[in-house]
Amino acid sequence: MSEGAIRMWVMSSQLGTVVVTGAAGRIGSAVRQQLRGDVRELVLVDRVAVHPLAPTERALQLDLADLDAVVAALAGADAVVHLAGLPDEAPLADLLDSNVLGAYHVLEAARRQEVGRVVLASSNRVTGFYRVGQVVAPDAPVRPDGFYGVSKVAVEALGRLYADKFGVSVVCLRIGSFEDEPAETRYLATWLSPRDGCGFIRAAITAPDVHFATAYAVSANTRGFWDTTAGARLGYLPVDNAESFADQVPGSDAPIDVAAFQGGAYTSAEYSLRHVASSPATGAYDQPS
Protein backbone atom coordinates (compact mmCIF):
# COMPACT_ATOMS: atom_id res chain seq x y z
CA MET A 1 0.00 0.00 0.00
CA SER A 2 1.30 3.46 -0.83
CA GLU A 3 2.29 6.03 1.75
CA GLY A 4 -0.93 7.90 1.16
CA ALA A 5 -2.80 4.95 2.60
CA ILE A 6 -0.68 4.79 5.72
CA ARG A 7 -2.90 7.50 7.14
CA MET A 8 -5.16 4.53 7.62
CA TRP A 9 -4.34 3.43 11.05
CA VAL A 10 -3.27 6.55 12.69
CA MET A 11 -6.87 6.69 13.92
CA SER A 12 -6.80 7.16 17.66
CA SER A 13 -9.92 7.78 19.71
CA GLN A 14 -11.44 9.50 16.68
CA LEU A 15 -12.43 7.34 13.74
CA GLY A 16 -11.53 9.91 11.11
CA THR A 17 -13.78 10.06 8.03
CA VAL A 18 -16.00 7.01 7.70
CA VAL A 19 -18.30 6.31 4.75
CA VAL A 20 -21.35 4.12 5.41
CA THR A 21 -23.22 2.72 2.41
CA GLY A 22 -26.80 1.60 2.91
CA ALA A 23 -27.07 4.27 5.59
CA ALA A 24 -30.88 4.31 5.44
CA GLY A 25 -31.17 0.60 6.23
CA ARG A 26 -31.75 -1.01 9.62
CA ILE A 27 -28.10 -1.72 10.33
CA GLY A 28 -26.93 1.51 8.72
CA SER A 29 -29.30 3.54 10.88
CA ALA A 30 -27.99 1.88 14.05
CA VAL A 31 -24.37 2.32 12.98
CA ARG A 32 -24.69 6.03 12.21
CA GLN A 33 -26.24 6.63 15.63
CA GLN A 34 -23.34 4.89 17.37
CA LEU A 35 -20.51 6.38 15.29
CA ARG A 36 -21.55 9.98 14.70
CA GLY A 37 -20.00 11.22 17.95
CA ASP A 38 -16.62 9.58 17.35
CA VAL A 39 -15.81 10.59 13.77
CA ARG A 40 -14.36 13.60 12.08
CA GLU A 41 -17.01 13.09 9.41
CA LEU A 42 -19.63 10.41 8.75
CA VAL A 43 -20.56 10.22 5.08
CA LEU A 44 -23.98 8.61 4.64
CA VAL A 45 -24.52 6.98 1.25
CA ASP A 46 -27.80 5.53 0.00
CA ARG A 47 -30.01 5.41 -3.08
CA VAL A 48 -32.75 7.12 -1.09
CA ALA A 49 -32.48 10.51 0.57
CA VAL A 50 -30.84 10.51 4.00
CA HIS A 51 -30.95 13.61 6.17
CA PRO A 52 -27.98 14.54 8.38
CA LEU A 53 -28.85 14.63 12.07
CA ALA A 54 -25.56 15.91 13.47
CA PRO A 55 -22.82 18.37 12.44
CA THR A 56 -20.49 15.44 11.73
CA GLU A 57 -22.87 13.86 9.20
CA ARG A 58 -22.93 14.45 5.45
CA ALA A 59 -25.39 12.68 3.15
CA LEU A 60 -24.91 11.59 -0.46
CA GLN A 61 -27.71 10.13 -2.57
CA LEU A 62 -26.24 7.89 -5.25
CA ASP A 63 -26.47 4.47 -6.85
CA LEU A 64 -23.53 2.13 -6.28
CA ALA A 65 -23.89 1.06 -9.91
CA ASP A 66 -22.21 4.38 -10.77
CA LEU A 67 -18.53 3.70 -10.17
CA ASP A 68 -17.46 7.30 -10.73
CA ALA A 69 -19.96 8.49 -8.11
CA VAL A 70 -18.68 5.90 -5.62
CA VAL A 71 -15.07 6.94 -6.23
CA ALA A 72 -16.02 10.56 -5.55
CA ALA A 73 -17.93 9.59 -2.40
CA LEU A 74 -14.85 7.88 -0.93
CA ALA A 75 -12.50 10.83 -1.44
CA GLY A 76 -10.63 11.49 1.80
CA ALA A 77 -12.17 8.51 3.61
CA ASP A 78 -10.24 6.62 6.26
CA ALA A 79 -12.70 3.70 6.23
CA VAL A 80 -15.82 2.54 4.45
CA VAL A 81 -18.49 0.31 5.97
CA HIS A 82 -20.36 -1.30 3.09
CA LEU A 83 -23.86 -2.29 4.21
CA ALA A 84 -25.83 -1.61 1.02
CA GLY A 85 -27.42 -4.34 -1.07
CA LEU A 86 -30.36 -6.72 -1.28
CA PRO A 87 -30.75 -8.27 2.19
CA ASP A 88 -32.50 -11.54 1.38
CA GLU A 89 -33.24 -14.14 -1.28
CA ALA A 90 -34.01 -12.68 -4.71
CA PRO A 91 -33.45 -13.55 -8.37
CA LEU A 92 -29.76 -14.26 -8.87
CA ALA A 93 -29.38 -11.58 -11.54
CA ASP A 94 -30.65 -8.94 -9.10
CA LEU A 95 -28.33 -10.18 -6.36
CA LEU A 96 -25.33 -10.11 -8.69
CA ASP A 97 -26.21 -6.59 -9.80
CA SER A 98 -26.84 -5.17 -6.33
CA ASN A 99 -24.63 -7.16 -3.97
CA VAL A 100 -21.69 -8.28 -6.08
CA LEU A 101 -21.33 -5.35 -8.47
CA GLY A 102 -21.98 -2.92 -5.62
CA ALA A 103 -19.23 -4.48 -3.51
CA TYR A 104 -16.86 -4.45 -6.48
CA HIS A 105 -17.43 -0.73 -7.01
CA VAL A 106 -16.85 0.01 -3.32
CA LEU A 107 -13.62 -1.99 -3.29
CA GLU A 108 -12.40 -0.47 -6.54
CA ALA A 109 -13.21 3.03 -5.28
CA ALA A 110 -11.38 2.24 -2.03
CA ARG A 111 -8.34 1.13 -4.03
CA ARG A 112 -8.31 4.29 -6.11
CA GLN A 113 -8.79 6.57 -3.10
CA GLU A 114 -6.35 4.62 -0.90
CA VAL A 115 -8.93 4.10 1.83
CA GLY A 116 -7.38 2.55 4.90
CA ARG A 117 -10.02 -0.06 5.75
CA VAL A 118 -13.00 -1.62 4.00
CA VAL A 119 -15.61 -3.40 6.11
CA LEU A 120 -17.88 -5.62 4.02
CA ALA A 121 -21.25 -6.88 5.29
CA SER A 122 -21.28 -10.59 4.55
CA SER A 123 -23.80 -13.00 6.03
CA ASN A 124 -24.04 -16.09 8.20
CA ARG A 125 -25.95 -17.58 5.29
CA VAL A 126 -22.74 -18.36 3.42
CA THR A 127 -22.60 -21.47 5.66
CA GLY A 128 -26.29 -22.28 6.12
CA PHE A 129 -25.95 -25.91 5.02
CA TYR A 130 -23.86 -26.96 7.99
CA ARG A 131 -25.67 -28.87 10.74
CA VAL A 132 -26.77 -27.26 13.98
CA GLY A 133 -24.59 -29.72 15.87
CA GLN A 134 -21.42 -28.41 14.20
CA VAL A 135 -19.33 -25.44 15.26
CA VAL A 136 -18.37 -23.59 12.08
CA ALA A 137 -15.29 -21.39 11.84
CA PRO A 138 -14.81 -18.70 9.17
CA ASP A 139 -12.18 -20.80 7.38
CA ALA A 140 -14.55 -23.75 6.84
CA PRO A 141 -15.61 -24.35 3.21
CA VAL A 142 -18.59 -22.21 2.29
CA ARG A 143 -22.00 -23.90 2.03
CA PRO A 144 -24.47 -21.15 1.09
CA ASP A 145 -28.14 -21.80 1.75
CA GLY A 146 -29.46 -19.88 -1.28
CA PHE A 147 -28.77 -17.37 -4.01
CA TYR A 148 -28.38 -14.61 -1.42
CA GLY A 149 -25.70 -16.66 0.33
CA VAL A 150 -23.97 -17.21 -3.01
CA SER A 151 -23.85 -13.45 -3.59
CA LYS A 152 -22.19 -12.97 -0.21
CA VAL A 153 -19.64 -15.68 -1.00
CA ALA A 154 -18.76 -13.64 -4.09
CA VAL A 155 -18.52 -10.47 -1.98
CA GLU A 156 -16.05 -12.19 0.35
CA ALA A 157 -14.05 -13.45 -2.62
CA LEU A 158 -13.83 -9.92 -4.03
CA GLY A 159 -12.63 -8.69 -0.64
CA ARG A 160 -9.92 -11.35 -0.57
CA LEU A 161 -8.88 -10.47 -4.12
CA TYR A 162 -8.55 -6.77 -3.35
CA ALA A 163 -6.57 -7.55 -0.22
CA ASP A 164 -4.18 -9.98 -1.90
CA LYS A 165 -3.78 -8.24 -5.25
CA PHE A 166 -4.05 -4.56 -4.35
CA GLY A 167 -3.22 -4.38 -0.65
CA VAL A 168 -6.62 -3.07 0.45
CA SER A 169 -7.23 -3.87 4.13
CA VAL A 170 -10.55 -5.76 4.26
CA VAL A 171 -12.72 -7.18 7.04
CA CYS A 172 -15.75 -9.32 6.13
CA LEU A 173 -18.35 -9.58 8.88
CA ARG A 174 -20.73 -12.55 8.60
CA ILE A 175 -23.67 -10.80 10.20
CA GLY A 176 -26.13 -12.80 12.27
CA SER A 177 -29.87 -12.16 12.67
CA PHE A 178 -29.81 -8.41 13.36
CA GLU A 179 -32.95 -7.74 15.42
CA ASP A 180 -33.89 -5.75 18.49
CA GLU A 181 -34.85 -9.05 20.15
CA PRO A 182 -34.85 -12.71 19.00
CA ALA A 183 -38.35 -13.60 17.83
CA GLU A 184 -37.98 -17.22 16.65
CA THR A 185 -36.12 -20.30 17.78
CA ARG A 186 -33.35 -20.07 15.18
CA TYR A 187 -32.53 -16.58 16.43
CA LEU A 188 -31.69 -18.03 19.85
CA ALA A 189 -28.51 -19.21 18.10
CA THR A 190 -28.05 -16.57 15.40
CA TRP A 191 -29.19 -13.31 17.04
CA LEU A 192 -27.04 -10.20 16.70
CA SER A 193 -28.19 -7.39 18.95
CA PRO A 194 -27.86 -3.80 17.70
CA ARG A 195 -25.37 -3.10 20.51
CA ASP A 196 -23.17 -6.04 19.52
CA GLY A 197 -23.59 -5.33 15.81
CA CYS A 198 -22.27 -1.81 16.24
CA GLY A 199 -19.50 -3.14 18.48
CA PHE A 200 -18.31 -5.56 15.80
CA ILE A 201 -18.40 -2.87 13.13
CA ARG A 202 -16.44 -0.43 15.27
CA ALA A 203 -13.85 -3.14 15.95
CA ALA A 204 -13.66 -3.98 12.23
CA ILE A 205 -12.96 -0.31 11.48
CA THR A 206 -10.26 0.11 14.11
CA ALA A 207 -8.51 -3.29 14.39
CA PRO A 208 -4.80 -2.78 13.60
CA ASP A 209 -2.64 -4.71 11.14
CA VAL A 210 -5.42 -6.41 9.16
CA HIS A 211 -4.65 -7.68 5.68
CA PHE A 212 -7.86 -9.69 5.31
CA ALA A 213 -10.13 -11.12 7.97
CA THR A 214 -13.49 -12.86 8.10
CA ALA A 215 -15.46 -13.08 11.34
CA TYR A 216 -18.95 -14.08 12.45
CA ALA A 217 -20.73 -11.09 13.98
CA VAL A 218 -23.13 -12.67 16.47
CA SER A 219 -24.12 -12.05 20.06
CA ALA A 220 -22.87 -14.27 22.90
CA ASN A 221 -25.74 -16.72 22.48
CA THR A 222 -25.72 -19.85 24.63
CA ARG A 223 -27.05 -21.89 21.69
CA GLY A 224 -24.71 -20.41 19.10
CA PHE A 225 -23.00 -22.62 16.53
CA TRP A 226 -20.33 -20.33 15.04
CA ASP A 227 -16.73 -19.96 16.16
CA THR A 228 -16.36 -16.36 17.32
CA THR A 229 -12.62 -16.28 18.04
CA ALA A 230 -11.98 -14.29 14.85
CA GLY A 231 -14.24 -11.55 16.17
CA ALA A 232 -12.33 -11.54 19.43
CA ARG A 233 -9.08 -11.11 17.50
CA LEU A 234 -10.57 -7.99 15.91
CA GLY A 235 -11.02 -6.66 19.44
CA TYR A 236 -14.69 -7.16 20.26
CA LEU A 237 -16.38 -9.55 22.69
CA PRO A 238 -20.20 -9.54 22.43
CA VAL A 239 -22.18 -8.87 25.59
CA ASP A 240 -25.80 -9.79 24.79
CA ASN A 241 -27.28 -13.30 24.89
CA ALA A 242 -30.47 -14.41 23.13
CA GLU A 243 -31.14 -16.80 25.99
CA SER A 244 -32.33 -13.81 28.03
CA PHE A 245 -35.40 -13.76 25.76
CA ALA A 246 -35.92 -17.54 25.45
CA ASP A 247 -39.07 -17.61 27.59
CA GLN A 248 -40.68 -15.18 25.13
CA VAL A 249 -39.86 -17.25 22.02
CA PRO A 250 -42.42 -19.92 21.02
CA GLY A 251 -40.91 -23.40 20.89
CA SER A 252 -37.75 -22.44 22.74
CA ASP A 253 -38.15 -25.35 25.15
CA ALA A 254 -38.28 -27.99 22.38
CA PRO A 255 -35.29 -30.35 22.04
CA ILE A 256 -32.58 -28.98 19.74
CA ASP A 257 -32.29 -30.97 16.51
CA VAL A 258 -28.54 -31.17 15.98
CA ALA A 259 -29.07 -32.68 12.51
CA ALA A 260 -31.06 -29.69 11.26
CA PHE A 261 -29.40 -27.19 8.97
CA GLN A 262 -28.15 -23.96 10.51
CA GLY A 263 -29.90 -21.99 7.78
CA GLY A 264 -33.30 -23.31 8.83
CA ALA A 265 -36.09 -22.42 6.40
CA TYR A 266 -33.60 -20.67 4.12
CA THR A 267 -32.25 -24.08 3.08
CA SER A 268 -35.56 -25.31 1.62
CA ALA A 269 -35.79 -25.67 -2.15
CA GLU A 270 -38.97 -23.60 -2.21
CA TYR A 271 -37.28 -20.62 -0.60
CA SER A 272 -35.06 -20.22 -3.66
CA LEU A 273 -37.23 -21.67 -6.41
CA ARG A 274 -39.78 -18.88 -6.06
CA HIS A 275 -37.05 -16.59 -7.39
CA VAL A 276 -36.08 -18.76 -10.35
CA ALA A 277 -37.31 -17.45 -13.71
CA SER A 278 -40.28 -19.44 -14.98
CA SER A 279 -40.19 -21.13 -18.34
CA PRO A 280 -42.01 -19.15 -21.07
CA ALA A 281 -43.39 -22.38 -22.50
CA THR A 282 -44.85 -24.01 -19.40
CA GLY A 283 -44.76 -21.41 -16.66
CA ALA A 284 -43.20 -24.04 -14.42
CA TYR A 285 -40.11 -23.53 -12.33
CA ASP A 286 -36.89 -24.81 -13.83
CA GLN A 287 -36.04 -27.90 -11.81
CA PRO A 288 -32.51 -29.10 -11.07
CA SER A 289 -31.61 -32.38 -12.70
pLDDT of 10 above 50: no
Convert the pLDDT of each residue in 110-142 to its tens digit.
999 999 999 999 999 999 999 999 999 999 999
Choose, from 148, 162, 216, 271, the residue flagged as catalytic.
Answer: 148
Indicate if the pLDDT at residue 154 is higher than 70: yes
By percentage, how much of the chain surpasses pLDDT 70?
A: 91
* 279 within a domain of the structure (yes/no): no
Q: Which residues pair with 79 in a beta bridge?
A: 18, 117
| pLDDT at 14 (0 to 100) | 72
Q: What's the distance, Cα to Cα, between the start and end of the chain in Å? A: 47
Residue 289 scores a pLDDT above 70: no
pLDDT digits (tens, 9 = 90+) for 71-85: 999 999 999 999 999
Active site residue 148: yes
Residue 286 falls inside a structural domain: no
The predicted structure's pLDDT at residue 288: 35
Task: Classify residue 278: in a domain, yes or no.
Answer: no
d(CA 289, CA 283): 18
- Quote the pLDDT of residue 35: 96
Q: Tell me whether residue 138 is in a domain.
A: yes
Is residue 13 scored above 80 in pLDDT? no
Query: Is there a domain that residue 190 lies in?
Result: yes
CATH of the domain at 14: 3.40.50.720
On average, the pLDDT of the chain sits at 92
Domain assignment of residue 57, given as a range:
3-273
pTM over 0.75? The answer is yes
If we measure between CA atoms, which residue out of 59, 49, 54 comes closest to residue 19? 59
Answer whether residue 282 is part of any domain: no
Q: Is residue 106 part of a domain?
A: yes
Identify the pLDDT of residue 277: 74
Number of domains the chain is built from: 1
